[in-house]
Structure 1
């Protein structure tokens, strides 16, 4: 937590160390009080005894707000963090003064897995659930070896001062236990997608650039162009549906950015935050 003034709460994505957000966190804290935290099971946050899913994560977010006596925060959620934010909005409709969904996962995210992939799809939700279950049983040392490529990629993006934190974050068996539960409950099951009216809270939806995303899927995941295009079309349709959550929603395209908007185009998020702070008032 840093800064003074209106409160902005950042809910990172599913596998996202706080170090990824440090530069944007510092920038935003120049004009507001900014809070960022690891959800249960990640970083230094205990997993707890309940099965992890978006509803439990939304409860935790509300508990944080009550514990710190925060009034009318602006809440920002990226990827899976955006799904938690959407659940929070349904469960606690009168708490926040603004929402920012950054290339957010949708309630109907299972539709992405319906695209037929040639050969074994190592990035399907089912494949990731199995990976996470395996990783949750490994030691920290073994996980550092298993996740070495991902850890090194993050190290290349982040300053040396963050490298130790990244290693600790990515080699935490508890996180992968949480992930396996969240993936199964929130991204695989269709029965849990029960809709309530979304509040008329000012919401900004930020979507990735489809051209960049398709190229990344081809280059990094080895997908055929047609497969990547099919997946991206579904994702973009889901993002479009988010812009219809309420009549008080604005859409922003993060041009030249893939999924990691906070790293590739943080200025887009900064402008969205400024827009919400300038157009909303604190309730009460």
Structure 2
């Protein structure tokens, strides 16, 4: 599948993959801080952002999309950074295409299976009558019945797009995401040990990566480490961007060529 993406910067290639309900735009401010050292590819994964919709929605499919993207653009041994769902896509790709990447950064997700966490969010998004929606404010008021946190609602409502003939539509493929939400919690079943360097970054206030997950992480990625960002939850890049950027720079170095 051909994926929409944004390019910026110069240097060694760095591909960034967003999380569930996100898009490439979510990582633009981080990319701006890194573009002096890296050629950055911000990618919209399938059923998100400006990439195409598809009934198949799995980590195998998204890893295949990433493989196709790398080949299409002639990218040699990129660094790959993935957050949440994007982190699992990156891990799946790293294991199934072990010779096609240089270093991997996984932000606030472990290779384990997770129970469905977003059922309330999905119910809230489905409750919004997009066809008759008059304003984003109306959408926010409807979503507030399900999601109390304003920041989370603002993040989710970035997926609303104004149509050229008036009204709104979803950028995300909400029906397919809803149908396949359990698949987004699946663990990485592969057990091929990868010796290349992998950095896991977790938020101190997040429970996505727990200490007990280190056993599984090391099984899959023997040459890995886990670092914790203080005063950050799951959205590490939004809550502590400078700390995250520092960790990325330290791990990757600052290659110009």
Q: Considering the TM-score relative to the shorter chain, is it more than 0.5?
A: yes
2:24 to 13, 18, 22: 18
Question: Structure 1-normalised TM-score?
Answer: 0.70
Partner of 1:54: 59
Check 1:279–1:173 CA distance in 2 against 1; reply closer, same or farther (3 A cut).
closer
Question: Structure 2-normalised TM-score?
Answer: 0.77
* 1:3 has 2:9 as partner: yes
The superposition leaves residues 199-245 of structure 1 with CA deviations (integer Å, 9 ceiling, x where unpaired) of 21210010110xx34xxxxxxxxxxxxxxxxxx3x741465345413
The CA deviation at 1:167 is 3.7
* 1:141 has 2:147 as partner: no
2:38 to 32, 38, 41: 32
Partner of 2:253: 278
The CA deviation at 1:168 is 2.2
Structure 1: which 5+ residue stretches go unaligned?
114-123, 158-163, 214-231
The superposition leaves residues 130-173 of structure 1 with CA deviations (integer Å, 9 ceiling, x where unpaired) of 666x469954838954455579636979xxxxxx9654299516
Partner of 2:94: 89
2:210 to 233, 236, 245: 236
Partner of 1:74: 79
* 1:262 has 2:237 as partner: yes
The CA deviation at 1:248 is 1.0
More strand by percentage: 2
SS of 1:269 mapped into structure 2: helix
Partner of 2:197: 202
**Does the 8 A contact of 2:16 with 2:41 survive in 1?**
yes
SS of 2:195 mapped into structure 1: coil
Partner of 2:165: none
Work out the CA distance in 1 between the residues paired with 2:250 and 2:176: 34
SS of 2:210 mapped into structure 1: helix
**Does the 8 A contact of 1:140 with 1:173 survive in 2?**
no
Structure 2: which 5+ residue stretches go unaligned?
1-6, 163-167
Partner of 1:184: 182
SS of 1:25 mapped into structure 2: helix
Work out the CA distance in 1 between the residues paired with 2:58 and 2:135: 23
More helix by percentage: 1
SS of 1:13 mapped into structure 2: coil
The CA deviation at 1:94 is 1.0
Count of residue pairs brought into register by the alignment: 238
